[in-house]
Amino acid sequence: MPTETLMTAEQLLHNPIPHKRTELVKGRLIVKEPAGYPHGRVAARLLIAIGQHVIATKSGEILTAETGFTLRRGPDTVRAPDVAYVSNAQIAGRALRGFAELAPELVVEVLSPDDRQGEVREKVLDWLSTGSRLVWVLDPERRTGRVHRADGSESGLTAQGAFDGEDVLPGLRVRLAEVLG
């Protein structure tokens, strides 16, 4: 039986697949179609809302959709959230080239209609187990959100609710109704 060849983060970085969304999970390449319009609209609104707060507070960096982060080595896992926040303290003194070897403190995942619950759960666990403190998951189709915290607690949101930056981005509140339109 043939042995599966695993990919490294460096191979993924230097051999992109045009017009596709890619991640690396335990050395295995995951390829998906580009996100649709509703996903892009909601992700952009979240990026703007969080970005305005980050710029105003000068607390760190906000990163746009599909920025890769190397979460594990041997075999490599590279995840790419829709929106990410890293604090100034987290990036101080780091050489940030290619896929940063860190887990953003805040990660936002906007679901697409083809996302499977098990895959989303695995992604959330990858983020939290490697150092992310807060993961927001937004489902535009169902008009709901879910907050996952590093301490293992979770909470759900309806369209009338708001994501809160908690101790990661104090003072940040993003109302679901505003980003869902």
pLDDT band at 163 (very low <50, low <70, confident <90, very high): very high
End-to-end CA separation in angstroms for the chain: 52
**Higher pLDDT among residues 10 and 33, named by residue:** 10
* Mean pLDDT in residue range 106-134: 94
Residue 8, in any domain of the structure? no
Residue 85, in any domain of the structure? yes
The one-letter amino acid code at 79 reads: R
pLDDT in tens, 32-62: 888 889 999 999 999 999 999 999 999 999 9
Cis check: omega of the bond before 75, within 30 degrees of 0: yes
| 140 has pLDDT over 90 | yes
Least confident of 17-31, 52-66, 145-159: 17-31
Structural domains of the chain, count: 1
Residue 15, in any domain of the structure? no
State the Cα–Cα distance between residues 105 and 127, nearest whole angstrom: 9
Residue 88, in any domain of the structure? yes
Q: What pLDDT sits at residue 65? A: 82
CATH code (residue 94): 3.90.1570.10
Residue 68, in any domain of the structure? yes
pLDDT band at 97 (very low <50, low <70, confident <90, very high): confident
Residue 136, in any domain of the structure? yes
| 5 has pLDDT over 90 | no
Residue 144, in any domain of the structure? yes
Task: Name the pairing type of β-strands 106-110 and 83-87.
Answer: antiparallel
Task: Name the pairing type of β-strands 60-63 and 144-149.
Answer: unpaired
Residue 12, in any domain of the structure? no
pLDDT band at 2 (very low <50, low <70, confident <90, very high): low
The domain of 131 spans 35-180
- Average pLDDT value for the chain: 93
